[in-house]
């Protein structure tokens, strides 16, 4: 799961993880975890997700981090926006319409304790199990104490399919030293994902968690 893997996925337009609509779980659950005055929303491994436009439309400043610069530019192109760019920092940034996307490795993004809200739909499940503890540790370093947000995961028999996306089971989250997770919804969505059924999955849970930084 090196950087080149994801860059090649974007360059070949192999982005089955991208959704052409706002995620229903975001619309259904965001208000239950967000709070006024909590500051910007951090969206790790954001791609060109339309969820960022939805969050900005609710009045939240949005800060995404995405490895591939072309994905960041594609987000603004799709929104009909011409972003201002800044190359002065470690990561190039693109900003317009209440959304700023930093292009580069998420582990190189340093804004200690700055974010009171986080939304993770496709970051944790993009990483194999051995990388996920380091991801959660770095994510925690970016969040303010008691920061809150939403995490959306997938659950399936990992032996039945090679990720990404990877299966993240509840016991793994229970072991997190930095976060508390509360399950808000769990649904078997295999009928809506025939490409996964074609790979041998007989069940696929999409699970929504409220998270809180300890």
Structural domain boundaries of the chain?
A: 3-213
The SS3 assignment for 194 reads: helix
Give the pLDDT score at 167: 97
Tokens 């259904």, located at residue? 28
Give the pLDDT score at 4: 76
Sign of dihedral through CA atoms 42, 95, 74, 9?
A: negative
Give the pLDDT score at 5: 78
Structure-token pair, residue 77: 């192109």
Give the pLDDT score at 10: 66
Q: What is the pLDDT of residues 103-156, one digit of tens each?
A: 999 999 999 999 999 999 999 999 999 999 999 999 999 999 999 999 999 999
Q: Specify the CATH number for 3-213; select among 1.20.1090.10, 3.40.190.290, 1.25.40.420, 3.40.50.150.
A: 3.40.50.150
The SS3 assignment for 143 reads: strand
Tell me which H or E stretch contains 151.
Answer: strand 143-155
Q: What is the DSSP string of 69-87?
A: HHHHHHHHHHHT---EEE-
Give the pLDDT score at 11: 76
Give the pLDDT score at 14: 66
pLDDT-flagged residues of the chain (< 50) = 18
Measured between alpha carbons, how far is residue 87 from residues 71, 117, 141, 205 in Å? 17, 25, 24, 40
């Amino acid at each position: 799961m090196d950087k080149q893997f994801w860059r090649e996925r974007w360059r070949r337009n192999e982005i089955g993880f991208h959704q052409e609509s706002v995620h229903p779980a975001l619309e259904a659950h965001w208000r239950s975890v967000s709070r006024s005055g909590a500051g910007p929303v951090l969206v790790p491994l954001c791609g060109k997700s339309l969820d960022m436009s939805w969050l900005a439309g609710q009045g939240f400043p949005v800060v995404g981090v995405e490895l591939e610069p072309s994905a960041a530019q594609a987000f603004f192109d799709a929104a009909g926006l011409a972003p201002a760019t800044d190359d002065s920092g470690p990561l190039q940034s693109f900003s317009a319409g209440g959304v700023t996307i930093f292009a580069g490795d998420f582990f190189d993004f340093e804004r200690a304790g700055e974010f009171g809200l986080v939304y993770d739909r496709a970051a944790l499940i993009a990483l194999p199990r051995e990388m996920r503890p380091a991801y959660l540790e770095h994510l925690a370093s970016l969040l303010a104490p008691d920061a809150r947000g939403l995490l959306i995961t997938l659950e399936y028999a990992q032996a039945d399919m090679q990720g990404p996306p990877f299966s993240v089971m509840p016991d793994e989250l229970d072991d997190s030293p930095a976060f508390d997770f509360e399950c808000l919804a769990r649904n078997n969505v295999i009928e809506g994902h025939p490409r996964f059924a074609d790979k041998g999955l007989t069940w696929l849970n999409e699970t929504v968690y409220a998270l809180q930084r300890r």
